Amino acid sequence: MSPKKEQLILAATDLFSRHGFHPVGIDRILADAGVARMTLYNHFPSKDDLITAVLDRRYEGIMASLHAFVEATATAREQLEAIFAWHEAWFETPEFSGCLFERALAEFGSDYPKISDVAIRYKKTMMAWIADMLKTLLPEHAATRVASLLLILLDGATIDARAFHDPTIATRAWGAAEAIIEQEIRLTSTNFVRR
């Protein structure tokens, strides 16, 4: 990938993260990236496409970081805990400003499918991944249901960590996740007994 294109994505990511998508104009991105106007439009047909590229890049970066972090653990339960721990480490980052996908979804809604699709794809991937882990602990239908709950916990924790400047929310959210999983395991086993 062209180094200029790279600089544009990096500068745009930083500016969008700090100020949002709409308030950041092309000029500001060009100045920060140290790139000429036409260079941007040679690489991206429009601002929307730059936004999409930023989100795509973020998607890959997060997934790579998450996988590396999670694969260092052994059991499914440790992997799930690692996901929450990864979030806490992220919340503690000085540049943490919420989830860029959520913010894109909040700003653009479904009016711009090119943009909102990345956010939804991220959610679905996360949920499927979590469900896979849970399948070693729970029957399949329970795993998918609980996965959607853990996603809710992660999304809610991300939002409230930003609103309250409280990274420790992630650990408490993991405690809640454990309670949900425990209850589900208990319900499943009693079902087996009753049979």
Partner DNA sequence: GAATAGATAGAACGATCAGTCTAATATGTC
Partner DNA sequence: GACATATTAGACTGATCGTTCTATCTATTC
The residues binding DNA (CB under 7 A) are 2-5, 24-28, 34-39, 41-43, 45-48
State the virtual CA torsion across 68, 173, 107, 52 in degrees, nearest 10: 10
Question: What's the CA gap between 123 and 31, in Å, rounded?
Answer: 33
Nearest-Å Rg of the Cα atoms of the chain is 19
Question: What's the CA gap between 20 and 124, in Å, rounded?
Answer: 23
Instruction: Identify the residue among 2, 23, 128, 189 touching a second copy (CB under 8 A).
Output: 23
Question: What's the CA gap between 193 and 195, in Å, rounded?
Answer: 5
Instruction: Identify the residue among 86, 90, 91, 108 touching a second copy (CB under 8 A).
Output: 108
- φ/ψ of 193, rounded to 5, equals -60, -40
C-beta closer to a second copy: residue 50 or 105: 105
Q: How many residues bind a second copy (CB under 8 A)?
A: 43
Least CB distance to a second copy at residue 150 (A)? 9
Angle formed at CA 123 by CA 93 and CA 154, multiple of 5 degrees: 50
153's contact among DNA, a second copy, none, with CB below 5 to 8 A by partner kind, is: a second copy
159's contact among DNA, a second copy, none, with CB below 5 to 8 A by partner kind, is: a second copy
End-to-end CA distance of the chain: 59
Of residues 113 through 152, those in contact with a second copy by CB under 8 A are 119-120, 123, 145, 148-149, 151-152
41's contact among a second copy, DNA, none, with CB below 5 to 8 A by partner kind, is: DNA
Site for a second copy contains 22 (CB under 8 A):
yes
